[in-house]
Amino acid sequence: MERFITSAIVGTLVCTGGVLGDSDRDGTLLIFPITGLFLSAALLALVFLPFRWMTRRFVTHSNPRIQASIVGAFLLFLIGVLTVFLPATSLTMSRPAFGAFWSTYVIALVASFFWPLAAQGNERTR
């Protein structure tokens, strides 16, 4: 639960930082932290938790960092496909900005949710 909350807060910070970089958004600075928190919690529950279960189930004997790398690579590939093939009318920002924002968002969430904490001796990481 601690990782879930931490990852949701990291996602909120990335969403808030994303709105700071977009000059076309007037007055949304107050709304983006709230929507970023809900978006991050929803993505963690609907996307990241099933990916965590699948990697633990199907890649059982690997290091947690390898599992995090697999999930991150898959999600970055998916973002790349969406960036290239989504029609321009459905994007609210330019294609490079769309790709950069969502790539940063995914890397931050994967790092905070999947990446193991510091190893303590020979014990397994959380």
Encode pLDDT of 82-93 as tens digits: 888 888 776 677
Average pLDDT over residues 49-62: 85
What pLDDT was estimated at residue 84? Answer: 86
H helices of the chain, in order, are: 2-20, 32-43, 49-58, 64-85, 95-113
The answer to whether 99 and 79 have CB atoms below 8 angstroms apart is yes
Q: pTM for the whole thing?
A: 0.76
Cα 47 to chain centroid distance, Å, stands at 9
Q: How many CB atoms lie within 10 A of CB 6?
A: 12
What pLDDT was estimated at residue 95? Answer: 82
Pick the closest to residue 39 from 17, 15, 20 (CA basis): 15
Radius of gyration for the alpha carbons in the chain, expressed in angstroms and rounded: 16
The predicted-structure confidence for 2-26, as pLDDT tens digits, reads as follows: 777 877 878 877 877 777 766 566 6
Mean pLDDT computed over every residue of the chain = 79
d(CA 71, CA 99): 17
Average pLDDT over residues 71-99: 84
What confidence tier does 73 reach under pLDDT thresholds 50, 70, 90?
very high
What pLDDT was estimated at residue 77? Answer: 94
